[in-house]
Structure 1
């Protein structure tokens, strides 16, 4: 398993090149929403998740390292975080999230190292 929060875990079942857009996202304690955007850039992989109604339809950025497993057949991925952890994450900034090292440091500090 990689220790980089911005990389897919070796054990998550991610296949390079797989488009995760549209996959349902399941937190430890229930459904979070669906993937609106996905990047698998080396050491900068992430998901933008549209949370839907449970937290007023906002978008959140999740580093790929929080993905614990992916069910390709059922287009569902599972994250090793709770709904509250995701809900309380630093505000998503769609203008700054790509290539903004300060924003990535803030998210790295918030989510910490990958865990199961």
Structure 2
């Protein structure tokens, strides 16, 4: 589900430079206004790719599910992954339950809709 026909939340954008086979686990995640955590898990499945970010103490140890399309770029040398979201947008995201995946249709729809409102027109 999305707010824009251009919004494809569950696939990496070509310009992000993720590519298949690139391990994103452990990369530092940078929001538009600063560091938010590290990539705990990443998937590369067509139409269901996402990353799980461990925010550590920043938002009380919360993990968040980010759809692949919010990734703007990856800097392998700096070990940074950049997303097109602010810290507050991520902090207010739908709650992610440990062990949940993007195959949970209701959660996937909630996440896609939530982030889609920030990416209308991508």
Fold match (TM-score > 0.5): yes
Instruction: Give deviations 1:33-72, integer Å, cap 9, x for gaps.
Output: 0000110111111000000111111100000100011111
Aligned CA-pair RMSD: 1.6
Q: 1:94 aligns with which of 98, 106, 114?
A: 98
Larger relative contact order (Cα-Cα within 8 Å, sequence gap ≥ 6): 2
Q: 1:47 aligns with which of 45, 48, 51?
A: 51
| Alignment of structure 1 residues 1-116 onto 2, 5 Å | 3-112=7-116, 114=119
TM-score when normalising by structure 1: 0.91
Superposed displacement of residue 98, structure 1: 3.9
Gapped runs of 5+ residues in structure 2?
Answer: 1-5
